Amino acid sequence: MHIRLAVREDIPILAALIKRSAKALCIKDYSAEEVDAALDGAWAIDTALIDDQTYFVCQTDRQIIGCGGWSKRATLFGGNAYTSRNPAFLDPKVDRAKIRAFFVDPDFVGHDVGLSLLNRCETEALKSNFTRFELMATLTGARFYRRNGYEGDERVAYPVGRQMEIDFIPMTKDATSQR
């Protein structure tokens, strides 16, 4: 498997991957209705990440098996249709880089796809002078992020669509944190 920058031509494949991943993996922590509502906007493609060249795909020779990115913009999570987006650029001296939109093909969970993507994102953010990271984890993803040095336990509810809210966990990590 290898990691490369995502391009707009990947969007249909990424949309299908996100849906497949969320429906198979997040159902442990969210109802089917909550997953469907989140897929309407909170868990969807943010083309700003692709255009900023901060979104990556992990693929085998035959298929894309994971995706994830980081951002130098203020938006913490959500796809193009999510209403709480803020495109302002961050200042690495005072702001945290945003770790964003990680999804893994359910058939490849346990193969270090997420870890490979996370390492790449953190490395790229460090190259852009960010030394601290933050993310808004799904309940499902929080376990993965904790294993990789992110801290945070408090649940917060956000609207995700269809007049529904779901719980997320804000998490942070400093580049000096041990994994």
Task: Say how many C-beta atoms besides its own lie within 10 A of residue 72's C-beta.
Answer: 20
pTM of the model: 0.94
Question: At 167, which helix (H) or strand (E)?
Answer: strand 164-174
d(CA 141, CA 137): 6
Question: What does each C-alpha distance from 141 to 8, 15, 51, 165 come to in angstroms?
Answer: 25, 18, 25, 17
Instruction: Identify the band that residue 81 occupies on the pLDDT scale cut at 50, 70 and 90.
Output: confident
Rounded to 5 degrees, φ, ψ at 100 are: -135, 145
- Tokens 């964003």 correspond to 100
Residues 6+ apart with CB under 8 A from 16: none
Per-residue pLDDT tens over the stretch 20-41? 999 999 999 999 999 999 998 7
Dist CA 99 CA 29 (whole Å): 21
pLDDT in tens, 129-165: 999 999 999 999 999 999 999 999 999 999 887 889 9
Tokens, residue 116: 């490979």
